[in-house]
Structure 1
């Protein structure tokens, strides 16, 4: 993050905390809906069961992706509580505001994130 006054920094962090908490609630709701769908009784018709199995595979993938994002969101909230939000966990340099605005739960600056993709 660029140099800001402590008041601006606090406001910026509070803004991201609210965004992260909202995203956490959305993910928890979605994951609960997926779990509820898995608990539904299955259709006795063979063709319908085949379709349901395909749907289950998609739901399972969505659930796994949601769980990973939920962990990342919680880790970002933990960094806020620890006072390290906005600092790259790899190189300890500030994470750019534009990057945090785009991906509020990112633990990495742009440079370190690109090094993982290579």
Structure 2
């Protein structure tokens, strides 16, 4: 059995933790904004609703990224960070530099 060459996860763990904290703070703000009492004026309420739809989309995207980051942190704990979940090969450091929570190598992505 050959040993896979993987990257040092420590610098990525710090980046992932920082991004996770940033996303959680952002989502708390979005939830707060969405919970505000609607404006009684119908025209203003329509404009607010359009803004709410944008906030909901941003929130959904943020939740997806949070899940991906948490999965990457789990892979770090399991000693599998930098290993493609599809083929088992190494994920290039350049790919992880760009997307630290990437679960797949460029070939499998």
Shorter-chain TM range is over 0.9
Q: TM-score, normalised by structure 1?
A: 0.86
Q: Pick from 14, 27, 40: which aligns with 1:18?
A: 14
Give the equivalent residue in structure 2 for 1:35: 31
Q: Pick from 58, 62, 69: which aligns with 1:66?
A: 62
Q: Pick from 93, 105, 108: which aligns with 1:109?
A: 105
Which consecutive unaligned segments of at least 5 residues does structure 1 have? 114-118
Instruction: Report whether the alignment pairs 1:75 with 2:71.
Output: yes
What is the deviation of 1:89?
0.2
Q: TM-score, normalised by structure 2?
A: 0.93
Instruction: Report whether the alignment pairs 1:92 with 2:88.
Output: yes
CA distance in 2, matches of 1:3, 1:35: 42
- Secondary structure of the 1:111 match is coil
Q: Hey, which of these two has a bigger chunk of helix by percent?
A: 1
CA distance in 2, matches of 1:39, 1:55: 13
